[in-house]
Structure 1
Amino acid sequence: MTQSDIWRLSATELTTQTRAGDISVEAAVQSSIDRMQEANPALNAVVEDLSAEALERARTLDKARAAGAAPGPLHGVPVTIKINVDQAGHATSNGVTALKDLIAPADAPVVENLHKAGAVVIGRTNTPEFSFRADTDNPLHGRTYNPWGRHISPGGSSGGAGSAVMAGIGALGHGNDIGGSLRFPAAANGAVTVKPGLGRVPAWNPSQKAERGMLAQSMSVQGLITRSAEDLHLAMPTMIAADARDPFHVPLPWRGEEPEGPIKVAFTRNTHGYDLHPEVEAALLTARDALNDAGYVVEEVEPPNVFEAGRNGYRALMGEVYAMMKKDVDAAGSQTVRDIFEVYFQEFPPFMGDELLQMMAKRSHYAREWSLFQQDYPLVLTPFLPQPFFKPDRDTEGAEGVHEVLGCAVYSYAMNFMGLPAGCVPSRLAQLEQGPQPINVQIVSPRWREDMAVDACAAIEARVGRMHLPLWEMMDQG
């Protein structure tokens, strides 16, 4: 393999060679930087180029290995970091012009854990203002584009991460998820991710001036967007390493006990009144058949009420956002994002006062129902969205646009509200009138068992293929 092709390797393939000394870290990082310089101008996925410090770190890692230091599990893996998380010496702008000079005094736990494992940050990726859209555009850095074409939004809020990793810019893309911000970009770009459960990955920004609201703390999680499920198994044990700055982190190993007998999977096509698009149904059926073929026992059975848990959970979050965040959005946000927030509050009428407290309490009821259901069906295969991914700026088109983008995504934010892990994996490449488009499905796993969701993603991927391969063929053909 020539240096110009190293960027094509998965993180798992790359570490096999960097740890053995067959490929130097400098060569691996340089190849990814070259790819970034080739692909990023058309995508605007990476909005801060860290090539110089990445190459300096790569040489340091190579020297340390030559001197006898043991390489870390992610030795030499090029990664990107989302601009809403602290990286020492760089702005945590969150896509907001007023925060463009908010320089982080230290690394957030996820950045520190990646560094300790030997990863190399090559750039920082774009997010919408306040990281609160399912699309990625902002006045500070501009719009991010989807490598599949400009007919599809790149998703959000980790849209830069999803676009970058699928275009071959870094093997791992850091992102986070309060209502779907890892899974929306994975679904938009045909990538693989797992939204970790509550307390799984330590989180905190040293630059923050105050603690986040209780629902923001309990619904938001840090994670990775990758091109393959195996890379999640490689990298997530690094991400979940304990950090005392997150006092509610749960220090459990990545792998849990091996289940006895075949794993039962509940399969649902219920979209709770929203039309199920034929391509989404086809993706679900493909995923179902792949899991059956892999030895899972898949039964079409209805899980506890996702619509109620999701809608009430997001209305509760909107109540907290209205009380704690609206003032900042009004003061520092663009007119576009202010208008979107007004429609959010219409789509999800905020719970306030006693009602908000009651719904926060009812969160345990919804989580308990799912916990009991998952005693019989540990995994649940669901749609992610009921229709193929939406076009850019669809959420700027009033109530109808916000409803298509976020209103119908109950399978997404229900899992944030209940704190459950949820994998997201492509199972179909749809050929639509506007162009080719990947279709992802979601796999919910029991609390603390992200590994089971990733195993199921890997089983589907093994039978349908990895979505970046046809994408790269398309990109190579111009």
Structure 2
Amino acid sequence: MANDDIWRLSAAELAKLTRSGELSATEAVQSAIDRMHALNPALNAIVEDLSTEAQERARALDAQRARGEPTGPLHGVPVTIKVNVDQKGHATTNGVAALKDVIAPGDAPVVSNLLKAGAVVIGRTNTPEFSFRADTDNPLYGRTHNPWGRHISPGGSSGGAGVAVMTGMGALAHGNDIGGSLRFPAAANGAVTVKPGLGRVPAWNPSQTAERGLLAQLMSVQGLITRSAADLHLAMPSLIAPDPRDPFHVPLPWRMAEPDQQPRVAFTKNTFGYDLHPEVDKALDTARDALVDAGYIVDEIDPPNVFECGRLGYRALMGEVLTLMKADVEAAGSETIQRIFATYFQEFPPITGPDLIRALAQRSHHAREWSLFMEDYPLVLSPFLPQPFFRPDRDTEGSEGVHEVLGCAVYSYAMNFLGLPAACVPARLAELPNGRQPINVQIAAQRWCEDLAVDAAIAIEARVGRMTDHLWADLASTG
């Protein structure tokens, strides 16, 4: 295979070839680096080029294999790491200029686990300031652009990750998600992800000087964005490996058990008064039909109240942010991010004081309702967003903009508050007046059952196809 084509391979395809010796780790990594150097200047997805150390690591992996040493499941697979997670010797900037010299003394668990599996980090990806926007732009690195066109935001906060993986700059992209930061970029770029449930992937930054707030601990998770749903089955077992630095990690296998039959799916189009765009409606129908054809039993039924749960969770998170982050945002944030946070507090009035304690207690009520519901319906197919993905900087346009970007995204942040896994997968390529763009749907899953959500995503992808087939053709035609 020509070096020019290696970057096109999925992580699963790459790993099969590198582990068998048909392809060297050096070749796999070099192809991704060449792709990065060709496309990244126009997209600004990767903000720290790690080509030199990536090539050295790839050569070391090839030498180890030549000596007959065991290869990991991700042997030679090129990956990217988001700049808000510690990677030894590199700055954990979180998109904030004031943090540009905060050099990580060690690797975060997610980085350690990827390296132990044989992956090779080729670069670090962009994030908005404080990783707290559903769009990706900041004064330190600048704006990341969506490869589908400038009419669509790249998503956030793992916007650089989503763009990188969809354009072939690495076969896997690390990201994280406190209210949708894996799923927003997946939806924006037509990628696939699964937001893991609480406790699934160990997390901690060696550079941190204080523990995160309780809701940040309960709602934030580490994960991967991919261009093929099957790559999640390949890579997530490595990501969930235990690390004692996370005392609340739950050491369970990726596959709990093979189901006797396909799980029942609750299917809902309920958008709680928000308009459901015709293209999102069609995407949901396609996803439902794909699951039915794959043998799932799909019932149209609403799950427990997502709107009430999601709004409560995000208002509680805003209360914690107001208490613990506001001073940092005012001291180190740009005028833009300060205005956005002020609008967040309008859209999601912060819950503070005794009411915040009550909101945390109420979380168990909502989680219990969902747990009982998922005894009968282990999967829930729903919209991710009720409308096609928004334009860049929409969240800078006052309350109306933030309402479109985050206010309507209750299916997203409700899953963080509940601690449940949720996959996000493209189910349609929409032809809209301002250009084409993918439409993703969400599949929430029973606790500890990320694998079931990924299985369902694979079934949908089998019907719809991979969005890269369309995107790469567009990129090739435009040069």
Normalised TM-score (structure 1):
1.00
Secondary structure of the corresponding residue to residue 313 of structure 2 = helix
1:222-241 to 2 correspondences below 5 Å: 222-241=222-241
Secondary structure of the corresponding residue to residue 477 of structure 1 = helix
Deviation at 1:259, TM superposition (A): 2.3
1:114-129 to 2 correspondences below 5 Å: 114-129=114-129
Q: Deviations over 1:291-345 (max 9, x none)?
A: 0000000110010000000000000000000000111000000000000000000
Distance across 1 between alignment mates of 2:150 and 2:117: 36
2:441 aligned residue: 441
RMSD: 0.5
Secondary structure of the corresponding residue to residue 430 of structure 1 = strand
The AA in structure 2 aligned to 1:214 is L
Deviation at 1:216, TM superposition (A): 0.1
Q: Deviations over 1:226-271 (max 9, x none)?
A: 0011100000000000000000000000001222333210000000
User: Does structure 1 residue 332 correspond to structure 2 residue 329?
Assistant: no
1:159 aligned residue: 159
1:6-405 to 2 correspondences below 5 Å: 6-405=6-405
> How many residue pairs are counted as aligned between the two chains?
478
The AA in structure 1 aligned to 2:262 is P
Normalised TM-score (structure 2):
0.99
Q: Deviations over 1:97-132 (max 9, x none)?
A: 000000000000000000000000000000000000
1:3 aligned residue: 3
Distance across 1 between alignment mates of 2:194 and 2:8: 22
Distance across 2 between alignment mates of 1:31 and 1:376: 46
Secondary structure of the corresponding residue to residue 174 of structure 1 = strand
Distance across 2 between alignment mates of 1:368 and 1:239: 27
Distance across 2 between alignment mates of 1:340 and 1:360: 25
Distance across 1 between alignment mates of 2:280 and 2:129: 29
Q: Deviations over 1:57-110 (max 9, x none)?
A: 000000011011111000000000000000000000000000000000000000
Secondary structure of the corresponding residue to residue 426 of structure 2 = strand
Worse-matched range after superposition: 444-453 or 258-267: 258-267
Secondary structure of the corresponding residue to residue 430 of structure 2 = strand
Q: Deviations over 1:358-386 (max 9, x none)?
A: 00010000000000000011100000000
The AA in structure 2 aligned to 1:312 is L
Secondary structure of the corresponding residue to residue 441 of structure 2 = strand
Distance across 2 between alignment mates of 1:290 and 1:256: 24
Q: Percent identity?
A: 76
Distance across 2 between alignment mates of 1:279 and 1:270: 15
Deviation at 1:4, TM superposition (A): 1.5
Deviation at 1:137, TM superposition (A): 0.1
The AA in structure 2 aligned to 1:435 is G
2:423 aligned residue: 423
Secondary structure of the corresponding residue to residue 4 of structure 2 = helix
Secondary structure of the corresponding residue to residue 170 of structure 1 = coil
The AA in structure 1 aligned to 2:109 is P
Distance across 1 between alignment mates of 2:241 and 2:263: 28
Distance across 1 between alignment mates of 2:61 and 2:302: 51
The AA in structure 2 aligned to 1:189 is N
Distance across 2 between alignment mates of 1:115 and 1:258: 28
The AA in structure 1 aligned to 2:429 is L
Secondary structure of the corresponding residue to residue 415 of structure 1 = helix
The AA in structure 1 aligned to 2:30 is Q
Secondary structure of the corresponding residue to residue 328 of structure 1 = helix
Q: Which runs of 4+ in 1 moved over 6 A?
A: none
Distance across 2 between alignment mates of 1:471 and 1:256: 35
The AA in structure 1 aligned to 2:40 is N
1:464 aligned residue: 464
Distance across 2 between alignment mates of 1:455 and 1:250: 21
Distance across 2 between alignment mates of 1:260 and 1:71: 33
Distance across 1 between alignment mates of 2:258 and 2:142: 46
Distance across 1 between alignment mates of 2:57 and 2:16: 19
User: Does structure 1 residue 454 correspond to structure 2 residue 454?
Assistant: yes
Distance across 1 between alignment mates of 2:261 and 2:165: 36
Distance across 1 between alignment mates of 2:223 and 2:436: 27
Distance across 2 between alignment mates of 1:472 and 1:259: 36
Distance across 2 between alignment mates of 1:229 and 1:317: 30
Secondary structure of the corresponding residue to residue 7 of structure 2 = helix
The AA in structure 2 aligned to 1:443 is I
Distance across 2 between alignment mates of 1:259 and 1:382: 22
5+ long unaligned stretches in structure 1: none
Deviation at 1:213, TM superposition (A): 0.3
Secondary structure of the corresponding residue to residue 8 of structure 1 = coil
The AA in structure 2 aligned to 1:61 is L
Secondary structure of the corresponding residue to residue 28 of structure 2 = helix
Q: Deviations over 1:424-443 (max 9, x none)?
A: 00000000010000000000
